[in-house]
Amino acid sequence: MELAICFLVGIIGGLVSGVLPGVGGLVMMTIAFPWLMTLDPVNILVFYVVLVSVDQFFNGITAIVFGIPGSSSSVPTMIEGHRLFRSGQGGPAIMYSAIGSWFSSLFGVLLMIVMLPILWSLYGLWSTTSQILMFSFAVFVILMVSRNKIFMNLLLFGIGSVLAHVGFNDSTYTEFGTFGLDILYSGIPILPVMAMCFVLPMLLRKSIGTFQFPGVSLSGYLQSLKKIKQYTGTLMRSSLLGSIGGFVPGLTYGFSSILAYTTERWLRRNKKVYKPGDMNCLIAAESANNAGAFTQLIPLLFLGIPITASEVMIYHVLEARNLPVSIEWFSQTFSTVVWFFVASSTVGLILSAKYVNIIKIINGIKISYVYIGIMIFLMFTIYYTGQQHYAGIDHVLIAVGLFPIGLLIHKTDPTPLVIGYLLHEPLLDGWIRMVDLYF
């Protein structure tokens, strides 16, 4: 009975964290923390796996329809998906991304099963050098494929890096860019940056007309399933990149989503077939996301290493209750985790098909009004997430302070700025380690 409850609550939690920006898996885990402390250890893992799996499906829908990336891993989905939505292809975008996500979930599971005998050997080959080279390659591709001129891409990437660097550094005991303001002491949170420096410029670019969503149907899903074979190459490439990004410590499936997206965009531009609102690029981002959502569990299950904040919380719950946290115990739960991940992915596919048509109730409303509503909702979300740390007003003020940047860059592609913000810390830390190792 407890197992069934964990499965159901995980589905509901994944739906909520996927639809509401800023309310990611870690927030839901925090909310559920008192309850998790009472559960059987295996059921704790089941809850988390189901939560993460379902979250990925609804994150994509929010990014496609409303232009709101629920997390950093949904940024590429918003870039291509919302453009498709605005051009009248919202239904196909949702259906193809959902089917691709389900396929890549199975791909990630099967790949890890096949690789079980050699996983420890592969982890032995991974190094700081490999990690920083992969990060650097991703950044290089992003800067080259953006529609901006290279100078503008470098400038935006630099602005994003500066924003990420603001605050007090616990390692060096120095502060940067705080201007003596207490609200900047802990750094600039991700949600205000995403809202004002990414969502706002994207929405300002096209805010005329009325909101029109044709919806999706079962027959549409069946047709999309038949046609998905034309994207086989994209699915395979992106699922592989997503799987690698998930199970390699130091990366994350959020990074692999960006890598798969930029790789696909680079390939499409080389073939001179890319244009904003590219279905292949959308499928690439969503596929990598979902493949990595499963494989990120592998370091925890086979090395006992939690590589995300949510996994650290699971580890903490198990240790706090004096429950087994050995590699042997984690490995024994692998088959249970696999079955519930596949089941929850299938549920996510069905739910995303069944309930997305509710959005049709706002058809006919001026798109500018919808976008104003989105920004108001984002400001509320910024306040709510900040208030979890008793800093709701501070986070809102930071967002207001970033508003001029959003206005200034709204005619550019803001992707390099966001990537600079998101990848600044792993890039900087990686290169510092490289210098320490070789010089």
pLDDT digits (tens, 9 = 90+) for 220-244: 888 888 888 888 888 999 988 888 7
- Confidence (pLDDT) at 19: 66
Q: 308: Cβ–Cβ under 8 A, 6 or more apart, which residues?
A: 26, 252, 296
Using N-to-C axis directions, what is the helix angle for 90-115 and 75-84, rounded to 10°? 150
Of 49-53, 219-223, 308-312, where does mean pLDDT reach its minimum?
Answer: 308-312
Is residue 55 within 8 Å of 36, Cβ to Cβ? no
Phi, psi of 174 (to 5 degrees): -125, 160
Model confidence at 327, pLDDT cuts 50, 70, 90, reads low
- Give pLDDT, residue 403: 94
Alpha-carbon Rg for the chain in angstroms:
21
329, pLDDT greater than 80: no
Neighbours of 212 (CB within 10 A): 15
pLDDT for the residue 95: 87
Contacts of residue 232, Cβ cutoff 8 Å, sequence gap at least 6 = none
pLDDT of 22 > 60? The answer is: no
What pLDDT shows up at residue 23?
55
The answer, yes or no, to whether residue 123 has pLDDT greater than 80, is no
> Residue 310: is its pLDDT beyond 70?
no
pLDDT at position 21: 55
- 245 has a pLDDT exceeding 70: yes
Q: pLDDT confidence of 331, banded at 50, 70, 90?
A: low
Contacts of range 43-46, beta carbons closer than 8 Å, 24 or more positions apart: 43/2, 43/3, 43/6, 44/6, 44/314, 44/317, 44/318, 45/314, 45/333, 45/336, 45/337, 46/3, 46/6, 46/7, 46/10, 46/336, 46/337, 46/340
Of 216, 253, 305, the closest CA to residue 104 belongs to 253
pLDDT at position 397, please?
93
- Within 13 A of 393's CA, how many CA atoms are on the CB side? 1
Q: How big is the chain, counted in residues?
A: 439
Q: Which of the four pLDDT bands, split at 50, 70 and 90, describes residue 364?
A: confident
The answer on pLDDT for 256 being more than 70 is yes
Specify the pLDDT at position 186. 86
For residues 136-164, average pLDDT: 83
Residue among 388, 353, 324, 433 at smallest CA distance from 45: 324
The owner of tokens 């997206």 is 261
Q: Give the Cα separation of 99 and 345 in Å (integer).
A: 10
Q: What is the pLDDT of residues 65-107, one digit of tens each?
A: 877 776 666 778 888 888 888 888 888 888 888 888 888 888 8
Phi–psi pair at 366, nearest 5 degrees: -55, 135
Write down the pLDDT at residue 162: 93
Please give the pLDDT value at position 405: 94
Q: Report the pLDDT averaged over residues 292-313.
A: 69
Residue 366 has pLDDT above 80, yes or no: yes
Q: Give the residue with greater pLDDT, 27 vs 409.
A: 409
What mean pLDDT comes out for the span 354-380? Answer: 81
The residue type found at 281 is C
Average pLDDT, the chain: 80
Q: What is the mean pLDDT of residues 205-209?
A: 68
Q: Is the pLDDT of residue 30 over 70?
A: no
Using the predicted structure, report yes or no on whether residue 314 has a pLDDT greater than 70.
Answer: yes
- Interval 22-37 mean pLDDT: 67
Residues 293, 298, 303, 304, Cα dihedral to 10°: 50
Q: What is the pLDDT of residues 383-434, one digit of tens each?
A: 987 887 778 899 999 999 999 999 999 888 887 888 788 778 777 877 887 7
Give the per-residue pLDDT at 330: 64
Portion of the chain with pLDDT greater than 70, in percent: 82
- pLDDT given for residue 313 in this prediction: 66
Instruction: Report the amino acid identity of residue 45.
Output: L
- Residue 168, beta-bridge partner list: 175
Q: Pick the most confident of 121-130, 131-140, 334-343.
A: 334-343
